[in-house]
A and B are shown apart, each in its own frame.
Chain A
Amino acid sequence: SAVISQKPSRDICQRGTSLTIQCQVDSQVTMMFWYRQQPGQSLTLIATANQGSEATYESGFVIDKFPISRPNLTFSTLTVSNMSPEDSSIYLCSGLRGGGYNEQFFGPGTRLTVL
């Protein structure tokens, strides 16, 4: 499977600020996703990052809060805007290649703490 890297790996931020998380895949993928993982909860899909167009958001997530870019087939960013302590979580980037059974793989995650 491909390798995904994320920056930053962790951050501590103040309430009301924004943080942009970068995701880089070492080879082209068909689809890229952003997930949130909170303690004791399952991975929750935030949105599907679409190359060159607006991301597709899941119920409960909106573009103003979580703007996403995907300028090419190997790179995407997720911004967590106007943060509150409830946004403290691990944010994971994921990639999926087409063909076969479509293995979906994940980056190491960005651990965000909002004070």
Chain B
Amino acid sequence: QKEVEQDPGPLSVPEGAIVSLNCTYSNSAFQYFMWYRQYSRKGPELLMYTYSSGNKEDGRFTAQVDKSSKYISLFIRDSQPSDSATYLCAMRETGRTGGGNKLTFGTGTQLKVEL
């Protein structure tokens, strides 16, 4: 079993739709949860970051973490064609430099928002 599971998609939605992207994980020590967006032929860029359980909202994006279920989500409201990209979840145990700081990634979900 992989430490982090993510549906690779592809996921195709019409413009304006609400998109839900999800990851599950097995390591209960994970405390920091991130979502990265990666456009084709570019490096990943940090989109959202959440510490422990709860919700965080930033514009059209909402990140949710449910540690009891080991489940994290990213919601995109009013999706736009410019949101078409691969979304990677990532998580780590600690915020300190050094041990436990290694990021573990999901495989990424490819999203396409169509006009």
CB within 8 Å of B: which residues of A? 1, 4, 30-31, 40-43, 45, 92, 96, 98, 100-109, 111
Contact = CB atoms under 8 A, between A and B. Distances in A.
Interface residues of B, number: 28
Contact of A103 (B41, B49, B96, B101): B49
20 contacts: A31-B101, A40-B8, A42-B105, A42-B107, A43-B88, A43-B90, A43-B105, A92-B43, A96-B101, A101-B49, A101-B51, A102-B95, A102-B97, A102-B101, A103-B49, A104-B46, A106-B43, A108-B42, A109-B42, A111-B41
A108 B101 contact: no
A1 B36 CA distance: 14
Contacts of B4: 42
Contacts of A30: 97
Contacts, number: 57
Contacts of B41: 108-109, 111
Given A42-B108, A43-B88, A43-B105, 8 more contacts: A42-B4, A42-B6, A45-B102, A92-B43, A100-B95, A105-B46, A106-B45, A109-B43
Nearest to B106: A42
Contacts of B106: 42
B51 to A, nearest CB: 7
